[in-house]
Chain A
Amino acid sequence: MDYLYGGTILRIDLNEGRIEKEPTSKYAPAWLGGRGFNARIMYQELEPGISPLSPDNVLAFSIGPLTGSMFPGSGRVEVSAKSPVTGIQGMSNMGGYWGPQLKYAGYDSIVIKGKASKPVYITIHNDQVEVKDATHIWGLDTYKTQDKLKAELNDPEIEVVCIGPAGENLAVYGSIQTRMGNAAGRTGMGTVMGSKNLKAIAVRGTKGVSVAQPEQFLNICLDALEKQKPLVDNARTVDMAENTPPSAWAVVLGNYESNVWDKQKDMVGGHKPFWEAHKNRQGAGRTGCFNCQVRCMDYFEENELGPLVASCNVYGSATWVIKNADIKTWYAVAAKCQRQGIDVLSATRMIAWASELFEKGIITLEDTGGIPLEWGNREALDQMLDLIARNEGFGAVLATTAEQAAAKFGPEIDPVLNVKGSPLGETNLMNFRARAMGAAVNPRGTDEYRARAGSFDNLGTGGGTGLTAMASPDSWESKMAMAIVEKAIAQKKEKKGPAAQITQFDPESRGELAALANRMICVTDSVGQCKWNTVFLNVGIGIELQAAALSAGLGRSISVDDLIDTASRIAAQERAFSAREGLTRDNDTLPKKLINYQMPGSWPDDKLDAQTLEAMKDEYYAAMSWDVNSGIPTQETLEACGLHDVATDLDKMGKFDR
């Protein structure tokens, strides 16, 4: 019996309904699991240049060796395919309870190719795998789909991932939804499912996760839980509305219109009193994912709008971004997006883009089919989201890519604020250099989450809030990061005198810190743990504990260095995928509007110029051992990672030419 891993990669070709299995040893241990497996699979099996909606797109769901085990917060799944939103590798990470069931059924990945001739769903019960007709559930919302399948398959323990109408109708940012509000929302992975006529995947497993040293593993997990307990509230953001302007770390108004909002006083504590009034009795209104004590989500029940489980990021997107101060409207938007299978962050950003153009008269009522796209207009939002889900009318404009949507209104119209094509979320990228850095180099575009650790943002400044200072100073991550910052401060003092310091606005050390964060996050995303459980966001669990758990679980020694080396390999593989699609350092950038931009209400230091961004990127590529001119991994780095085939490919394509 395998330790930690399920042992089998499940491969399904929907063209012929063919089901095959191969051993996980093909990818483990070199690729660790989760995001690592996906990086390799995408590179090896996705032909460059194919269309994301073509049957040739490859969709992979991968879990990590720790998924389903007692290691805290280890219920995560990493989903990947070519993204219909960005045209490059799409990546989305999902919580909930589905990942553990996949592990218990004995699998580490599901790799899906082709397209079914009519709607289907996949059912997995341990060794038994079937592709079944889904015609009778096509069109159902994501809550009803899950209920229906559990009833039909006569087992309430089944976990389901599914798409809603948005994915079915090929709105580009269709999400994959699962139980309790969890989703793989970003980069349109649900749309890829829809393009394959795949409605859902239902899983049930009973084999459990074996560990080599059970007592040791148990003690490591209990110790990790103890360390984490005092920090769990760092991951909850119910109080976001209470930040007084200028917003210390949180969100921006509309399309980076301002850092301040006159309606903010209506919303101060807006979420909290609503939560108090409507928190569901079950769990005292607080819930979360498999085996996680953080429980970062709120469980509401509002009389008119029904039940809803919502997590932090949804909040800013359906309030500040669309300039809506009404809490009930926020609720309605969140609930609708979940049921329809729409990524709420992408949809609200697209709506904000269109609302600004509507305000300027560039988009008219004729364009919108008579729907007034006024900021925060609840009825308009409701109708727009329905149209997006149906990919109809003006919804079809909002449900397409950033480039295509802008092109409809003329060549001088700027597309939605985006990174590499994926609409920006709610977080302010300008008031921490670390955020701008992370967003510029995140392999999937979209946001700063894959190349930035919140706990590093204010290191060395002596300041910071609970999220942006370091809560675990004894951790490996903290020591590594402090060493980087201290070196940078010393260098700055040499140049600029003894009073020199590094604040959250300064670019020095950002590149190296982003490289460290990138590697840390690769590890977390590959072992199956939630980033919201780790030092990344000051929630306590670090790479040393991950290594210890893997060692006790697998029965052989895994060191922090082993994990970091693996992360370098995964990061290089992902970067090579992008390079093969034609991307270089020129694509690591921020929206034009945000360069040299002093947003009203922001601190003077928020403004970022192009030269500073380029300097941070230089530092990042060097720290990743990638070529500084191209931003592409060097031949030496690829060879050192064991990626000889990748080195050969890129060499043939002339990617190493100086």
Chain B
Amino acid sequence: MSYVILIDAEKCSGCQMCEIACSLRNMNECNPERSRIRVVKSQLDGQLEFVPSTCMQCETAMCELVCPANAISRDPRTGARIINEKKCIGCSACSYACPFGACFVDRRLGKSIVCNQCDGDPTCVKVCPSGALSYVQADQVNITLKRGAAQRLISAKEMMREEVAVPELLPTDRDNC
């Protein structure tokens, strides 16, 4: 069974709790630079956009394929990519191959690191205050994303129903019965 960290970027409010929690849990230090999940920020004249980004758990992982040291494999419990520290030579081939920039060579460690889903209990998901991150079975991404998008239509229809008044029987109507 495979799991992924599902990202709803629109919910992200840019607090960076995920970055700090990840780096502390996995690298023993509070440092966004050493976090395996990062919030990409955009701010222009007060307009804010935040997009959290981490490993997408590709089925055919380029990182695994390009690694010259065969250091990358899959955790059979969670499906998360695991980088074997002993084999890794810190060459960055995986970083360049990854479509998302998810793995990267941590310069102090001298090895590539990537989201390991914290052994099945991701800390970033635990601390995220906005619901931008959730931990779902990989085969549930389909309905989860569709539900998220459909929710807008469902909410709009609920709002419309609330605005339409239910006509009341006027006293005169009753009197005329």
Inter-chain CA distance A221–B31, complex, in Å, is: 15
Partner of B130, one of A208, A214, A222, A295: A295
Instruction: Please name the residue on chain A nearest to B46 by beta carbon.
Output: A307
By secondary structure, the A interface counts as mixed
Task: Decide yes or no whether A218 CB sits under 8 A from chain B.
Answer: yes
Partner of B13, one of A208, A214, A225, A287: A287
Task: Decide yes or no whether A605 CB sits under 8 A from chain B.
Answer: no
Task: Decide yes or no whether A291 CB sits under 8 A from chain B.
Answer: yes
Q: Are A288 and B13 in contact (CB under 8 A)?
A: yes
- In A31-86, the 8 Å CB interface with B consists of 68-70
Task: Decide yes or no whether B101 CB sits under 8 A from chain A.
Answer: no
Say whether, besides A146-B43, A209-B30, A209-B31, A222 and B126 are in contact (CB < 8 Å): yes
> How far is the CB of A74 from the nearest CB of chain B, in Å?
9
> How far is the CB of B26 from the nearest CB of chain A, in Å?
10
Task: Decide yes or no whether A217 CB sits under 8 A from chain B.
Answer: yes
Task: Decide yes or no whether B120 CB sits under 8 A from chain A.
Answer: no
Inter-chain CA distance A218–B129, complex, in Å, is: 17
Task: Decide yes or no whether B176 CB sits under 8 A from chain A.
Answer: no
> How far is the CB of A520 from the nearest CB of chain B, in Å?
24
Which of B17-25, B53-61, B67-75, B138-146 forms part of the interface with chain A?
B17-25
- The CB with the most chain A CB atoms within 10 A, among B15, B49, B126, is that of B15
Inter-chain CA distance A222–B17, complex, in Å, is: 11
Q: Are B48 and A284 in contact (CB under 8 A)?
A: no
Q: Type the 1/0 row for B1-42, where 1 means its CB is closer than 8 Å to any CB of A.
A: 000000000111111110011011100111111100000011
Partner of A283, one of B12, B44, B127: B12
> How far is the CB of B145 from the nearest CB of chain A, in Å?
17
Inter-chain CA distance A281–B10, complex, in Å, is: 7
> How far is the CB of B151 from the nearest CB of chain A, in Å?
12
> How far is the CB of A293 from the nearest CB of chain B, in Å?
4
Task: Decide yes or no whether A456 CB sits under 8 A from chain B.
Answer: no
Q: Are A299 and B48 in contact (CB under 8 A)?
A: yes
- In A482-509, the 8 Å CB interface with B consists of none
Q: Are B23 and A208 in contact (CB under 8 A)?
A: yes
Instruction: Classify chain A's interface size.
Output: 35 or more
Inter-chain CA distance A306–B45, complex, in Å, is: 9
Q: Are B47 and A211 in contact (CB under 8 A)?
A: no
Residues of chain B contacted by A295 (CB below 8 angstroms) = 13, 15, 129-130
Task: Decide yes or no whether A593 CB sits under 8 A from chain B.
Answer: no
Q: Are B15 and A282 in contact (CB under 8 A)?
A: no
Q: Are A214 and B48 in contact (CB under 8 A)?
A: no
Say whether, besides A281-B10, A283-B50, A295-B13, A207 and B43 are in contact (CB < 8 Å): no
Residues of chain B contacted by A306 (CB below 8 angstroms) = 45-47
Residues of chain A contacted by B17 (CB below 8 angstroms) = 70, 291-293
Task: Decide yes or no whether A20 CB sits under 8 A from chain B.
Answer: no
Task: Decide yes or no whether A122 CB sits under 8 A from chain B.
Answer: no
Inter-chain CA distance A97–B48, complex, in Å, is: 14
Q: Are A70 and B16 in contact (CB under 8 A)?
A: no
Inter-chain CA distance A171–B64, complex, in Å, is: 60
Inter-chain CA distance A244–B24, complex, in Å, is: 46
Say whether, besides A281-B10, A282-B50, A307-B48, A70 and B30 are in contact (CB < 8 Å): yes
Residues of chain A contacted by B49 (CB below 8 angstroms) = 282
Q: Type the 1/0 row for A303-316, where 1 means its CB is closer than 8 Å to any CB of B.
A: 00011110000000
> How far is the CB of B45 from the nearest CB of chain A, in Å?
5
Q: Type the 1/0 row for A112-149, where 1 means its CB is closer than 8 Å to any CB of B.
A: 00000000000000000000000000000001101100
Partner of A180, one of B20, B33, B48: B48
Task: Decide yes or no whether A320 CB sits under 8 A from chain B.
Answer: no
Task: Decide yes or no whether A286 CB sits under 8 A from chain B.
Answer: yes
Q: Are B130 and A286 in contact (CB under 8 A)?
A: yes
Task: Decide yes or no whether A104 CB sits under 8 A from chain B.
Answer: yes
Q: Are B15 and A291 in contact (CB under 8 A)?
A: yes
Inter-chain CA distance A221–B33, complex, in Å, is: 20
Q: Are B13 and A143 in contact (CB under 8 A)?
A: no
Inter-chain CA distance A387–B91, complex, in Å, is: 58
Inter-chain CA distance A146–B34, complex, in Å, is: 25
Partner of A143, one of B15, B30, B33, B46: B46
- In A79-112, the 8 Å CB interface with B consists of 97, 104
Partner of A208, one of B10, B31, B41, B48: B31
Q: Are A211 and B48 in contact (CB under 8 A)?
A: no
Partner of B45, one of A147, A179, A209, A232: A147
Inter-chain CA distance A317–B13, complex, in Å, is: 26
Say whether, besides A143-B45, A208-B33, A306-B45, A283 and B14 are in contact (CB < 8 Å): yes
> How far is the CB of A317 from the nearest CB of chain B, in Å?
20
Inter-chain CA distance A288–B42, complex, in Å, is: 15
Q: Type the 1/0 row for A292-332, where 1 means its CB is closer than 8 Å to any CB of B.
A: 11110001010000111100000000000000000000000
Instruction: Please name the residue on chain A nearest to B152 by beta carbon.
Output: A281
> How far is the CB of B156 from the nearest CB of chain A, in Å?
13
Inter-chain CA distance A429–B25, complex, in Å, is: 45
Residues of chain B contacted by A206 (CB below 8 angstroms) = 31, 33
Instruction: Please name the residue on chain A nearest to B48 by beta carbon.
Output: A282
Task: Decide yes or no whether A290 CB sits under 8 A from chain B.
Answer: yes
Residues of chain B contacted by A225 (CB below 8 angstroms) = 127
Residues of chain A contacted by B127 (CB below 8 angstroms) = 222, 225, 293
Instruction: Please name the residue on chain A nearest to B47 by beta carbon.
Output: A307
Inter-chain CA distance A207–B34, complex, in Å, is: 9
Say whether, besides A208-B34, A209-B30, A284-B130, A70 and B20 are in contact (CB < 8 Å): yes
Partner of A211, one of B13, B16, B30, B50: B30
Task: Decide yes or no whether A582 CB sits under 8 A from chain B.
Answer: no
Residues of chain A contacted by B16 (CB below 8 angstroms) = 97, 290-291
Q: Are B41 and A156 in contact (CB under 8 A)?
A: yes
> How far is the CB of B7 from the nearest CB of chain A, in Å?
14
Q: Are A104 and B48 in contact (CB under 8 A)?
A: no
Q: Are B43 and A289 in contact (CB under 8 A)?
A: no
Q: Are B13 and A286 in contact (CB under 8 A)?
A: yes
Task: Decide yes or no whether A210 CB sits under 8 A from chain B.
Answer: yes
Instruction: Please name the residue on chain A nearest to B17 by beta carbon.
Output: A291
Inter-chain CA distance A68–B23, complex, in Å, is: 12
Q: Are A283 and B43 in contact (CB under 8 A)?
A: no
Residues of chain A contacted by B24 (CB below 8 angstroms) = 70, 211, 214, 217-218, 221
Q: Are B48 and A288 in contact (CB under 8 A)?
A: no
Residues of chain B contacted by A288 (CB below 8 angstroms) = 13, 15
Q: Type the 1/0 row for A264-296, where 1 means its CB is closer than 8 Å to any CB of B.
A: 000000000000000011111011111111110
Say whether, besides A68-B30, A211-B24, A217-B24, A308 and B14 are in contact (CB < 8 Å): no
Residues of chain B contacted by A218 (CB below 8 angstroms) = 21, 24-25
Residues of chain A contacted by B15 (CB below 8 angstroms) = 287-293, 295
What are 28 A-B residue pairs whose CB atoms fall within 8 Å in the complex? A70-B20, A70-B21, A104-B31, A104-B32, A150-B43, A179-B43, A180-B43, A209-B31, A210-B29, A211-B28, A214-B24, A214-B28, A221-B21, A232-B129, A282-B12, A282-B49, A283-B12, A283-B13, A283-B48, A284-B10, A286-B13, A289-B15, A290-B15, A292-B17, A292-B129, A293-B15, A294-B129, A307-B47
10 closest A-B pairs by beta carbon, nearest first, are: A208-B31, A283-B13, A293-B129, A214-B28, A287-B13, A307-B46, A209-B30, A70-B20, A69-B30, A206-B33
Further contacts, 8 of them, CB under 8 A, given A211-B29, A232-B129: A69-B20, A143-B45, A179-B43, A284-B130, A287-B13, A292-B129, A307-B45, A307-B47
